[in-house]
Structure 1
Amino acid sequence: MTDLATEFTGHSANGAVNLRFPESEYRARLARTRALLAERGLDALLVFAQESHFYLTGFDTAGYVFFQVGIVTASEGLLTLLTRTPDKRQAEVNSLYDDVRIWLNAEGADPAQDLRTLLEEMGLRGGKVGVEYATYGLTAANGRSVDAALEGVCALEDASDIVRGQRLVKSPMELDYTRAAGRLADAATLAAIEAARPGAFDTALSGAAVTAMLGAGADMPSGGPLVNVGPRALFGRGIGGPRSIEQDDQVLIELAGSACRYHVVIEHTVSVGRTDPRQVSQMGVAIEALERIKEAAVPGERLGTLDDIHRSVLDGAGFQKARYAACGYALGCTFKPTWMDVPPMIYSGNPLVLAPGMVFFVHIMIPDTETGLVAGVGQTFAIGEDGHGVETFSTLPLQLWQAG
């Protein structure tokens, strides 16, 4: 079992001393990436997604909110990073990047031009280069700058799927971190439920959840917690401005535990004070849908089938107008602003074929605007081997929780 504080210390081939996975696992990921680049006829990949930096090299930073790019060539060669000064030392000792180049903040600075110079230096002029466009690590403005700077230098192609596709199936060690994240999510949820009482602010529940998970050694999750009280419990997103719990009320709790940036999300609904029998029935429908989805989540099945079940159960119970158009998404190692590791989303018609080691969060959300009641429940699970069912990363019971 992987400990939350595990680091594989000792000098790697490039001098890195602190990595969260054995160097051999990173090298295997890089080898698969280079093979995929060669298959696509690409000479290099421009890595802008922070998740890809972490997956391929171990590089962990928040610097992706500026301009930060890694260059992975299809042929064996140095791994090169272009970043800002505050990220330099982390890249040197916590990643497999061999060559760390710095662009400097200044009036009129254009790191895309620095990237152009770097690619020319690496002999990539006239080459075909893949770009990770579909990421929070490349803003629209920076993407336009890259396109403009490399016009006439390289032929660019969207290659956002090359690393993302690999990350869908988790390695044994990635699943160990996911199991640890599940334990953290359970502890955080229980802490939030215990704090749910009349007069308590929703922010107090969030604070209890975060304190519990961080006290147990978690990373700060890349989103949430989402704690919505009263009429807000029908919302599908968090909202600013504290709201206190009333004498007879409802609370929706959706949060993630995070271990080594790997996330497990769970969702539960709490009835504070008197419980409306209609909400109990509503929760029964949500739980039935979730359980049937887990039974159907087997290798070889299409991902869209899971949402077909979601729709069938809720529509059959009269909640067609209330339900969502999707019932979940992939999870893995993600950075702010979201724990959602998408694509893929779980929607009807999604053709992705399920395989062992894929991890998904499925939540059944029934916000009934006619009664003002909500039933929300969700779990994260991994697709198991044939005949073994899913592995669920939460031990909390599926029920309408009572508090206050």
Structure 2
Amino acid sequence: MTLHFPREEFAARLERLKARMREEKLDALLLFAQESMYWLTGYDTFGYCFFQSLVVKADGSMALLTRAADLRQARLTSTIENILVWVDRSNADPSMDLKNLLVDMDLLGCRLGIEYDTHGMTGRTARLIDNQLVSFGELIDASTIVSDLRLIKSEAEIRHIERAALLADDALEAALPLVAAGADEAAILAALQGAVLAGGGDYPANNFIIGSGEEALLCRYKSGRRILQAQDQLTLEWAGVSAHYHAAMMRTVLIGEPGPRHMELYDACTATLQDMEARLKPGHTFGEIFDALARSLDEAGMTRHRLNVCGYSLGARFAPSWMEHQLFMAGNPQAILPNMSLFLHVIILDSERNAAMTLGQSYLTTDAGPRSLSRHGVDLLRR
């Protein structure tokens, strides 16, 4: 069996979940988020892109409904003992199998929490489930219950996060020597990803971001590669990954002699990141971190060039995104607490002058303040 945590760790997580279910007066929770299943049991698969659900009763008993291709996956990677398979066939409706499972688990007429807000729950799946269960019991949107529990990391989780951060640093050191005029983005990208895999890490939950020239102003992955020019800019966003736990980093590297606009943007980035770091501790909220960014960049005249989010919680995530639910955005009341792993980024994209500058770093929160998880500072990277 392949488990990344001791069974005692999973048992403690289940107790935390049961306590939260009692608070919400839930008789059972229907999990559809792969992150939730992984956190609770170790179950590791990409089969969540098809229909599957882990049913957790208030007494802690569990049953997984999945496809035949994931039966052995669940047996090998999880603590789940009760695994049922729905049969792939034309016009199959696995929501009926789920309803029958809930009957067998004596949950008819009960209060059922359902994870709707997840990539494992398509619109079609939601409609099928609602149609099957609308008169079966009381349905509650419980999308954030496990997600909220996952915000605070255990010591065992922190060890994986620190390992992921080490791999992120290794990736930067492997890729940076390749950045020069005439370099192919493909070689730089291969060095980033190769360092993580060679170090024993995993694939990331979303593609690494690489873009130069005008594409340095993109903060999403796109297909296609470019050759770096003598005067250029290269934006990179990547993550080290250990047992699906992510530690992200982001930088814009300047090739050639920096112009005054790039230096102006870099100075704004560093000053803003310092303002955000000063508030990244208990006693503040996620919304206050964004307020610090908005105030700093607005005062620097960068309002048109900033984004409306400046980071998010990190953890064990699956495709298509390593971003957690909790974002640093205006009005988010989520309190910053010790032992959160968080990613702060300052992204300035000046389309008028075709100039980009980004800084992104992962942190572990403590009572005293944030601890950067990277051994690298935020000095301007020039090649």
TM-score class normalised by the smaller sequence: over 0.9
Out of 46, 66, 71, the residue aligned to residue 50 of structure 2 is 66
Map Cα deviations across residues 277-305 of structure 1 (whole Å, 9 max, x no partner): 32122111101111221121111212111
User: Does the alignment pair 1:173 with 2:156?
Assistant: yes
Map Cα deviations across residues 153-196 of structure 1 (whole Å, 9 max, x no partner): 12211111111110001111111111111111111122222221
Q: Distance in 2 between matches of 1:177 and 1:198?
A: 36
Q: Distance in 2 between matches of 1:393 and 1:51?
A: 22
Partner of 2:251: 268
Partner of 1:400: 380
For structure 1, the 5+ residue unaligned runs are 1-16
Partner of 2:94: 111
Post-superposition shift, 1:211? 0.7
Instruction: Say whether the 8 Å CA contact 1:189–1:253 is kept in structure 2.
Output: no
User: Does the alignment pair 1:371 with 2:353?
Assistant: yes
Structure 1 segment 107-186 matched on structure 2, within 5 A: 107-186=90-169
Q: Distance in 2 between matches of 1:328 and 1:45?
A: 29
Partner of 1:240: 223
Out of 306, 316, 340, the residue aligned to residue 323 of structure 1 is 306
Map Cα deviations across residues 56-96 of structure 1 (whole Å, 9 max, x no partner): 0010011100001001000243x200001111112113211
Post-superposition shift, 1:364? 0.3
Moved more, 186-195 or 108-117: 186-195
The TM-score normalised by the length of structure 1 is: 0.92
Q: Distance in 1 between matches of 2:328 and 2:278?
A: 15
Out of 180, 185, 209, the residue aligned to residue 226 of structure 1 is 209
Post-superposition shift, 1:43? 0.7
Q: Which runs of 4+ in 1 moved over 6 A?
A: none
Map Cα deviations across residues 251-281 of structure 1 (whole Å, 9 max, x no partner): 0011111011000110111111222132122
Partner of 2:328: 346
Q: Distance in 2 between matches of 1:76 and 1:163?
A: 14
Out of 173, 176, 192, the residue aligned to residue 193 of structure 1 is 176
Partner of 1:9: none
2:307 aligned counterpart, secondary structure: coil
Identity of aligned residues (%): 37
Post-superposition shift, 1:325? 1.2
Q: Distance in 2 between matches of 1:309 and 1:377?
A: 15
2:304 aligned counterpart, secondary structure: coil
Partner of 2:7: 23
Q: Distance in 1 between matches of 2:2 and 2:360?
A: 35
Instruction: Say whether the 8 Å CA contact 1:202–1:245 is kept in structure 2.
Output: yes
Map Cα deviations across residues 330-352 of structure 1 (whole Å, 9 max, x no partner): 1111001111012x110122111
Q: Which amino acid aligns with 1:75?
A: D
Out of 332, 340, 344, the residue aligned to residue 362 of structure 1 is 344
Instruction: Say whether the 8 Å CA contact 1:223–1:256 is kept in structure 2.
Output: no
Q: Which amino acid aligns with 2:286?
A: L
1:338 aligned counterpart, secondary structure: coil
For structure 2, the 5+ residue unaligned runs are none
Instruction: Say whether the 8 Å CA contact 2:14–2:60 is kept in structure 1.
Output: no
Instruction: Say whether the 8 Å CA contact 2:248–2:362 is kept in structure 1.
Output: yes
Partner of 2:364: 382
Structure 1 segment 231-310 matched on structure 2, within 5 A: 231-310=214-293
The TM-score normalised by the length of structure 2 is: 0.97
